[in-house]
């Protein structure tokens, strides 16, 4: 079983009604979605509001939504599980993903503020030293770092490919506290490139991620040159801790 497709939503919530929304999300919406063909898991995260590194550039495009307080992810066998259905486009029918929702459910969905959505397919993945911490349903770890970005030029994208293929993936696969890393590309949404890091906890990430500078000093100069060539989504990369399923 492989979860090659991800459906990711970044969004904010109003203070008023937040607890009711979360109860509905975990009790009604997510269980309903997990009954859809091809769906494998769901996970909901709250941003820890960790400040991005000094080399990160963010888009200034006002058309890109800026919600980032929460990240909801669904994993599926392929990205095709997240199709809205042909009738949604040929006949104007409701999306097959939401056709089962009652009016009360739609009102809950409408509470999301500044929602940004990407549907992705997997480019590559590597397990970390702590991959055994991932549960049998393949739910991502208790802590994630999720970057979403575009290359500023074709040359920058070529360099990005090498950066992950020839260094970053292998480095994270050896980093203590890392459960895994996967590189994705978007089939729909902003941006083209996404990367998901999984860690045992926020504390393990904070403690171990800086060790890459010590373990691979020859790659730091390259990173400092390559990363500014990317244009990130607002607040990307997001560092977040898992709210649901609850961390045991």
Tens digits of pLDDT across the chain (248 residues): 689 999 999 999 999 999 999 999 999 999 999 999 999 999 999 999 999 988 899 999 999 999 999 999 999 999 999 999 999 999 999 899 998 899 999 999 999 999 999 999 999 999 999 999 998 889 999 999 999 999 999 999 999 999 999 999 999 999 999 999 999 999 999 999 999 999 999 999 999 999 988 888 888 889 999 999 999 999 999 999 999 999 98
Q: Which tokens go with 222? A: 């390259």
Place of tokens 């590194």: 53
d(CA 124, CA 106): 35
Domain at 135, CATH number: 3.30.70.100
Please give the pLDDT value at position 239.
98
pLDDT score at 213: 83
Token code pair at residue 56: 């990160």
Whose CA is closest to 72, among 100, 104, 99, 108?
Answer: 108
Give the model's pLDDT for residue 170.
Answer: 94
CA 59 to mean position of chain CA atoms: 18
Q: At 8, which helix (H) or strand (E)?
A: strand 5-12
The pTM of this model reads 0.95
**What pLDDT, on a 0 to 100 scale, did the predictor assign at position 1?**
60
Rounded CA gap, 95 and 88, in Å?
5
Type and span of the H or E element at 39: strand 39-47
Structural domains in the chain (count)? 1
Secondary structure (3-state) at 241: strand
Which residue range forms the structural domain that includes residue 186? 5-244
User: Which of 122, 107, 112 shows the shortest CA–CA distance to 7?
Assistant: 122
pLDDT of residue 218: 84
2: CB partners within 8 A, 6+ apart: 77
């Amino acid at each position: 079983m492989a979860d090659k497709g991800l459906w990711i939503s970044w969004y904010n919530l109003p203070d008023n009604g937040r607890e009711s929304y979360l109860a509905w999300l975990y009790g009604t919406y997510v269980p309903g979605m997990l009954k859809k063909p091809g769906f494998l898991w769901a996970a909901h995260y709250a941003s820890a509001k960790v400040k991005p590194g000094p080399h990160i550039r963010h888009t200034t495009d006002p058309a890109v939504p800026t919600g980032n307080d929460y990240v909801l992810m669904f994993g599926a066998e392929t990205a095709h599980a997240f199709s809205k259905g042909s009738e949604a486009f040929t006949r104007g029918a409701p999306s097959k993903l939401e056709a089962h929702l009652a009016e009360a459910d739609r009102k809950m969905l409408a509470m999301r503020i500044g929602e940004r959505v990407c549907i992705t397919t997997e480019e590559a993945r590597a397990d970390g030293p702590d991959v055994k911490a991932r549960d049998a349903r393949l739910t991502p770890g208790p802590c994630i770092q999720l970057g979403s970005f575009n290359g500023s030029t074709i040359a920058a994208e070529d360099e990005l490919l090498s950066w992950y293929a020839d260094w970053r993936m292998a480095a994270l696969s050896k980093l203590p506290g890392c459960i895994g890393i996967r590189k994705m590309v978007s089939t729909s949404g902003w941006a083209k490139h996404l990367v998901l890091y999984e860690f045992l906890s926020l504390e393990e990430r904070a403690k171990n991620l800086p060790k890459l500078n010590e373990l691979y000093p020859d790659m730091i100069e390259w990173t400092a040159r390559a990363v500014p060539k990317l244009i990130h989504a607002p607040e990307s990369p997001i560092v977040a801790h898992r709210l649901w399923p609850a961390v045991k």
